[in-house]
Amino acid sequence: MLCVCVVFIVTPQISSSTDVALRFIRSYGANNELLPPIVSLGGASEDVQGYVSEFATVEFDLRSNNYPNVYARLIHCQTDWTEDQNAFLSDVTNRTTLVDWKLAPSRSTYYTHRGKIQIPNVQMQLRFAGNWKVRIFDMDGDIVLGEAKIFVVKEMASVNVNFMTDFYEPKAKVSTIALTLEAIVRSGRGTTLIDGYQHSTVFYRNHRWNEPFMVSSKYSEEDNPPSTTTGTAGILNAGKVFRIAKIPAENEYRVLDLTNLAMYPFTGQPVRMPLSDLRRNGMFIQRADDGAMVTSTVSGVNDEYVPIEFLLNPDPGAPSENDVFVSGSFNQWKPDRTWMMYFDETLRLYRLRQWVRRGRHNYMYATGRVNADNGLVDNLSYEEMEGNTASAGIGYLAFAYYRIPEYGGYDAIIGVTASNIYLSNR
């Protein structure tokens, strides 16, 4: 049995040949935006039912002068997303042009076409478990428009996750609450697995697929938060434990609801938030969507992008010594330099104007530094503006990786599970 998890990274590009620009891209389970993009092929075990789907929907918005002409291709990767240089794994003919297109509302100026791809489909097959990159190309000039991540899971093991509250030493003056996560991986019924091949478990916060927490005996863990420590113990048949300690607990997500047309009308001009957001530290209670973006209640005529002005009040305290960014479901929790705020000395507020798709969004404010080479953000952290609390019900997924010796050897995902601090056994 195979499971598929489709995850996309926005890498906006403009094709000079046809003036095609990728504005936004995302994925979710079947037709439910709240579900993580995990698909079970051939049926799912009871352990994973409830958060897997029969297929994943990949949705992307383009700005194009003409009707878009695109295709998508698959590249198999190792656990750390290094691309496998193996023609058996990454067949160059494994691509798809099956895109369901929809025109943007007539008054839309930010994007012109929305495409949807169902994965897998009759053209694009998923033949091996593990990590996959999906590259979307403009066929005119064969130019890369964006890149996606896909998790393909063949269930050969069971995975359970336990949560424990912990403490760490934050750099900012916030609470010291952290989490320790441990995944227990056991051989599935009727399967014979070799303990030495079971080398890694990777944790992700739900819908935040660009922030992996690696616990591995094979791959580097240097991208984990500096506060964390990791360890493994046990054997696979009895239950092999992969633990990561001292992950900052963060806070519950803020909510930006652009489905309120009276509060956020489309005028063509930036719409300022009615009140500035405040710096947080203690418990924050709001009914969020576990990091997802929800647009199902927006009618087709209003399914557009609205220019929004975000406002953040850094009081109590001085403005940050680092750059401040807006991060959320509207940018796939991966802000770049275009999502960096500036501090208005007159208003004493951080400000940012950005196009945001109409819908209900989860978001937070982060600090870090823009990398001059790639425009991305280094050392992204939420603690200074958001604080930490053990009450945040953020969901986590855990993927168990196993080395398959066939076809020259490749990393397969043999188990997956999801949980949060309220559902854990500990």
Tell whether 337 is covered by a domain.
Answer: yes
Query: Could you tell me which of 188, 176, 187, 84 has the C-alpha nearest to residue 130?
Result: 84
Q: How many domains does the chain have?
A: 3
Cis-peptide into 319, omega within 30 deg: no
218: DSSP letter: S
Q: Which of 104, 119, 154 is the last residue of a domain?
A: 154
pLDDT average, residue stretch 78-94 = 93
Q: What is the CA radius of gyration of the chain?
A: 21
- 2 or 29: which leads in pLDDT: 29
Q: Could you read off the pLDDT of 202-230 as tens digits, one per residue?
A: 999 999 999 999 999 999 999 999 999 99
Residue 384, H or E segment: helix 383-386
181 and 145 in a single domain? The answer is no
Q: Could you read off the pLDDT of 103-121 as tens digits, one per residue?
A: 999 999 999 999 999 989 9
CA distance 280 to 312: 11
Residue 393: CB atoms within 10 Å: 12
Tell whether 175 is covered by a domain.
Answer: yes
240 and 259 in a single domain? The answer is no
pLDDT average, residue stretch 416-423 = 89
148 and 162 in a single domain? The answer is no
7 and 149 in a single domain? The answer is yes
| 240-248 β-sheet, strand order | 157-167, 177-187, 240-248, 229-233
142 and 179 in a single domain? The answer is no
Upper half-sphere CA count for residue 250 (Cβ side, 13 Å): 21
CA distance 203 to 119: 23
pLDDT average, residue stretch 32-58 = 78
Give first-to-last CA distance, the chain, whole Å: 30
pLDDT average, residue stretch 91-111 = 94
Tell whether 424 is covered by a domain.
Answer: no
330 and 195 in a single domain? The answer is no
Q: Which of 104, 120, 154 is the last residue of a domain?
A: 154
The yes-or-no verdict on residue 62 having pLDDT over 70 is yes
Tell whether 368 is covered by a domain.
Answer: yes
Tell whether 426 is covered by a domain.
Answer: no
pLDDT at 14: 43
CA distance 372 to 279: 27
Upper half-sphere CA count for residue 365 (Cβ side, 13 Å): 25
pLDDT average, residue stretch 190-210 = 93
Cβ neighbours of residue 108 closer than 8 Å, sequence gap 6 or more: 304, 305
123 and 168 in a single domain? The answer is no
353 and 211 in a single domain? The answer is no
pLDDT average, residue stretch 189-214 = 93
258 and 369 in a single domain? The answer is yes
200 and 70 in a single domain? The answer is no
Q: Could you read off the pLDDT of 238-256 as tens digits, one per residue?
A: 899 999 999 999 999 999 9
Cis-peptide into 335, omega within 30 deg: no
Tell whether 425 is covered by a domain.
Answer: no
Residue numbers of the domain that contains 356: 254-386
148 and 161 in a single domain? The answer is no
Q: Which of 111, 127, 154 is the last residue of a domain?
A: 154
- Which CATH number belongs to the domain containing residue 228 in this structure? 2.60.40
The amino acid present at 158, given as its one-letter code, is S
185 and 163 in a single domain? The answer is yes
pLDDT at 16: 46
Confidence band (pLDDT; 50, 70, 90) for 188? confident
